[in-house]
Amino acid sequence: MKKILLSLMVFALCFGIKVNAQEQKTPDWKRWHYLSEEEMNTPVRAVNFTETPPPTGTPRFVAEFEPMQGVMIRYPLGIPTSLVAQLSNNCQVYCIVSTSQQNSAQNTFQSAGVNMSNVHFVNAASDSYWVRDYGPWYIFEDRNPAIVDNIYNRPRPNDDNMSGVFANYWQIPMYGMNLEHTGGNMMEDGRGHGVSDELVFQENGNNEANVRQKMRDYLGIDPYHVTIDPQGDYIAHVDCWGKYLAPDKILIAQLPASNSHAADYDAVANYFATTNCCWGYPYHVYRVQEPGGSTLAPYTNSLILNKSVYVPLGSNSNYNQQALAVYQEAMPGYEIVGVTNNDWYTSWENTDALHCRTRGVMDFNMLFVDHRDVYHGEEEWQAEYPVTSKFIAYSGMDLKQDSLLVYYSIDGGAYQVAHMTATGEPDEYVGYITGYQGGSEIDYYVFGADESGHRYTQPVFAELDPHHFTVGPHSPSGELVITPTTLWFEQIGESKEFDIINETTNDIVINSIESNDSYLVITPSVFPETLPAGGTMHVVVDFLVPPTKDYIERTITISTSVGIRTVTAMLNSNLEDWGLWIPGSPYVELTVNEPQAHPYVVNGNYGSNTPIVITEVYEPTSTSHSNVQYLEIEYPELPYTLGVSQNFELTVRVNPNLSKDIKDYVETAICIVSDQNNVTYYVIIDGELLSINEVSVETKVYPNPMNNVLHIESNNVQSVAIFNAVGQQVLFVENTNEIDVESLSEGLYFVRISDRRGNSVVKKIVKN
């Protein structure tokens, strides 16, 4: 601010404006943030703007705290080169630079230790470094990235062209929204809520209805929270006094009570503290202390970039530390980075700092988790709480059906996992929270992953700051309660669960649990079993073989001493030609308690319209197909013609000629070759059944349970592969004994450790 006071006075004199101490606080032209001498002398310039119809698809304006593929800056810089280096190690850096200055930019960055492999120079003319204000507004139109352009509220034609530059750079559509607006005066939560101050109305003829309609049509913003400008001076940008930290969290600056604007800041904070966020309850408002006056404290003008927050530091160390602590409290698990800028020409100002000079570029391939009907406060008792969420994989890749999960904790206990299944609505899945009592405290969050490797949670802080609610009072019904009463199966080999809860005062005998369809396998299977008063029986249902038409309904009958109860199973067979496939998990474990699978249905020709000819069955770990190393496999004589809807059964045993003095686990496989497709069936063998190679003797893995790093104790490690409980490889590394497993979700895993001779050992391990 100090650097432009003289220029502002010159501007006033040039245009015959009478200036005194009182009038300097209110003239409209003061909102023209940081005018150059040239701009002051030519305040009216042609606007290069083309209005277009709004998107025909549904727009979603992505929030700053969502996944970002990169960050936009401009050269010559308005930020320290040391910050550019930090940003380049977080994501891609898109640097706007003229062709004549690109070599200078490159040399400057290299000298500062910038990761140049993550820097992309975008050649374009620009007028200033306030890329936040003039940069493109990135949206998704349905599942496709697009840009919304508006009229930049400064007389800077090159800056105002920047949306078009990046629409061409990305080769994505651009929509022209005929509003005068600026990025510094816009916050959005990624779920349709937005915040600006009243400048947006003033700059558009005070036509409030028109502003709201365009924000809704082009950006999907509704409701649009337009507040007073509490700072009451100069720039009137929301990022100078407030910031979205999450869909339900907002940061508002706070001034000492003696400051003349303190009451206005408090009024805005109170507005959000009494206004519902997108999840149906009032915002959590965090206050960051600013001393006011000439003391530098630009704390709300920060940049959130993936799991880091870059906070511009002021001139008072005590206030700096308090500000960093507020961010850390509000955003647990994030890296909070304080950033100083001591350059005289580009140093931070209270109304212009780090946020004004950067702009995130949304990840065009992100995974979006959108659970809207969030439970909060005290919820009326239900036998189960369905958690419904949409999962949008913008990459176009399939969702990982076994990685759509609800994690929940009851009364502070360990987190449990509920798998989510499709509801039949587009992109929508549901999982169930069960097993609580009246008055229980529930923490929960939703997790999703897709085949592109993208993962996301809601809330983004996961177990560090989950959704929370209290179960309402509950008096036992005096009935036998089944929850849930409908199971939705989407794919072959899927498992679903339900609970039988005895809410009577007497023991109940469960005589049997049976299905009217051989497609379903139910566990437990041994009855009768007595369920005591207040007790719960957990039942697992596996869908082994697909039917032949869309969804069909099957019934599970529960016979008890108090009558018959039923559970409905909806089986989805809307699949393509399956050909040769493996029902259930492609893993089976042979242990000392169950040394063989006899017989085991490995392959079924369901969905194929023609017979399949099986030509070969072998164990690929052996030196030749006929020399089985770990297993004895019995199967029908080959070639074997597998008719439509027929099964091919194998008997699998551990080779009895192997000794039994080695611990741990070893992995092998069975390959089945046919004239249509080939499949592989993995077998985990308890090492107590056989003697294996040197690597198993030498190898140890720890800690167990593992947290963020898994250690392998062995001198012969060539590669390590980690598989989840359903046999999917989730991690593979080579030539290392320390493995970063922080990205893995909680649960059971198999770790396969291979030496340089191709020998391997498999160990079970749990991730907390």
Question: What's the 3-state SS for 136-154?
Answer: CEEEEECCEEEEEEEEECC
Confidence of residue 548 (pLDDT cuts 50, 70, 90): very low
DSSP category for residue 119: E
Q: Edge-to-edge strand order for the sheet containing 508-515?
A: 486-489, 563-572, 551-560, 508-515, 529-531
pLDDT of 192 reads 96
Q: How many residues does the chain have?
A: 768
Average pLDDT of 256-281?
A: 96
Tell me what percent of the chain is helix, strand and coil, each rounded to the nearest 5. 15, 40, 45
Q: Is the pLDDT of residue 658 over 60?
A: no
DSSP category for residue 746: S
The sign one gets for the Cα dihedral 92, 350, 127, 148 is positive
The span from the CA of 764 to the CA of 311, in Å, is 43
Phi and psi at 521, nearest 5°, equal: -115, 130
What is the CA 176 to chain-centroid distance, rounded? 30
369-373, 416-420, 483-487, 594-598: range with lowest mean pLDDT: 594-598
Q: Are strands 144-152 and 174-181 parallel, antiparallel or unpaired?
A: parallel
**Of 65, 72, 165, which is closest to residue 119 (Cα–Cα)?**
72
Active site residue 356: yes
pLDDT of 424 reads 80
* Three-state DSSP string of 178-245: EEEECHHHCEECCCCCEEEECHHHHCCCCCHHHHHHHHHHHHCCCCEEEECCCCCCCCCCHHHCEEEE
pLDDT of 600 reads 45
Q: What's the pLDDT tens digit per position in 437-482?
A: 889 999 999 999 999 989 999 999 999 999 999 999 988 888 898 8
Average pLDDT of 98-119?
A: 96
Average pLDDT of 292-319?
A: 94
The span from the CA of 456 to the CA of 729, in Å, is 19
Q: Is the pLDDT of residue 609 over 90?
A: no
What is the CA 334 to chain-centroid distance, rounded? 14
Q: What's the pLDDT tens digit per position in 179-188?
A: 999 999 999 9
The sign one gets for the Cα dihedral 686, 690, 692, 698 is positive
pLDDT of 332 reads 94
Q: pLDDT: is 627 or 467 the higher one?
A: 467
**Of 689, 674, 667, 688, which is closest to residue 643 (Cα–Cα)?**
674
pLDDT of 723 reads 77
The span from the CA of 620 to the CA of 471, in Å, is 53
pLDDT of 48 reads 72
The span from the CA of 490 to the CA of 390, in Å, is 16
Q: pLDDT: is 501 or 621 the higher one?
A: 501
Q: pLDDT: is 626 or 410 the higher one?
A: 410
The span from the CA of 372 to the CA of 374, in Å, is 5
Residue 360 CB neighbours (<10 A): 24
pLDDT of 725 reads 64
Average pLDDT of 651-663?
A: 58
152-156, 289-293, 430-434, 602-606: range with lowest mean pLDDT: 602-606
Confidence of residue 550 (pLDDT cuts 50, 70, 90): very low
DSSP symbols for 358-411? -EEEE-TT-EEEE--S---EEEPP-SSEEEEEEEEETT-PPB-GGG-EEEEEET
The span from the CA of 30 to the CA of 229, in Å, is 14
pLDDT of 15 reads 32
pLDDT of 486 reads 76
Look-up of token digits 């100078």: 240
pLDDT of 584 reads 45
pLDDT of 597 reads 45
Q: Is the pLDDT of residue 733 over 80?
A: yes
Look-up of token digits 């080939």: 678
Residues 6+ apart with CB under 8 A from 528: 509, 510, 511, 512
Which tokens hold the place of 199? 């400048």
pLDDT of 10 reads 31
Q: What's the pLDDT tens digit per position in 330-341?
A: 999 999 999 999
289-303, 392-406, 516-530, 654-668: range with lowest mean pLDDT: 654-668
pTM of the model: 0.66
Q: Which of 91, 95, 277, 356 is catalytic?
A: 356
Q: Is the pLDDT of residue 692 over 60?
A: no
Phi and psi at 197, nearest 5°, equal: -100, 180
pLDDT of 665 reads 57
Q: pLDDT: is 304 or 32 the higher one?
A: 304
Average pLDDT of 510-516?
A: 87
User: Amino acid identity of 516?
Assistant: N
Residue 126, judged by CB atoms within 10 A of its CB (0-12, 13-18, 19+), counts as: buried
Residue 301, judged by CB atoms within 10 A of its CB (0-12, 13-18, 19+), counts as: buried
Q: Is the pLDDT of residue 304 over 80?
A: yes
The span from the CA of 458 to the CA of 523, in Å, is 32
Average pLDDT of 710-716?
A: 79
130-134, 372-376, 463-467, 676-680: range with lowest mean pLDDT: 676-680
Q: Is the pLDDT of residue 625 over 70?
A: no
Residues 6+ apart with CB under 8 A from 686: 589, 590, 591, 592, 665
**Of 192, 247, 251, which is closest to residue 217 (Cα–Cα)?**
192
Return mean pLDDT, the chain: 82
Query: Is residue 74 within 8 Å of residue 258, measured between CB atoms?
Result: no
Tell me the sheet residues that pair with 146: 139
Residue 355, judged by CB atoms within 10 A of its CB (0-12, 13-18, 19+), counts as: buried
Confidence of residue 516 (pLDDT cuts 50, 70, 90): confident
Helix (H, G, I), strand (E, B) or coil at 542: strand
Look-up of token digits 């989950």: 466
Q: Is the pLDDT of residue 664 over 60?
A: no
Query: Is residue 679 within 8 Å of residue 672, measured between CB atoms?
Result: yes
Look-up of token digits 């809520």: 193
The span from the CA of 570 to the CA of 170, in Å, is 43
Q: Is the pLDDT of residue 680 over 50?
A: yes
pLDDT of 621 reads 57
Give the rounded percent of residues in the chain with a pLDDT score beyond 90.
49
Residue 458 CB neighbours (<10 A): 24
Q: Is the pLDDT of residue 89 over 80?
A: yes
Q: Is the pLDDT of residue 532 over 80?
A: yes
Average pLDDT of 176-203?
A: 95
**Of 295, 292, 294, which is closest to residue 314 (Cα–Cα)?**
295
Q: Edge-to-edge strand order for the sheet containing 421-422?
A: 367-370, 385-393, 428-433, 421-422
Average pLDDT of 560-583?
A: 61
Confidence of residue 47 (pLDDT cuts 50, 70, 90): low
Q: Is the pLDDT of residue 567 over 80?
A: no
pLDDT of 697 reads 45
Confidence of residue 8 (pLDDT cuts 50, 70, 90): very low
The span from the CA of 506 to the CA of 532, in Å, is 7
pLDDT of 458 reads 96
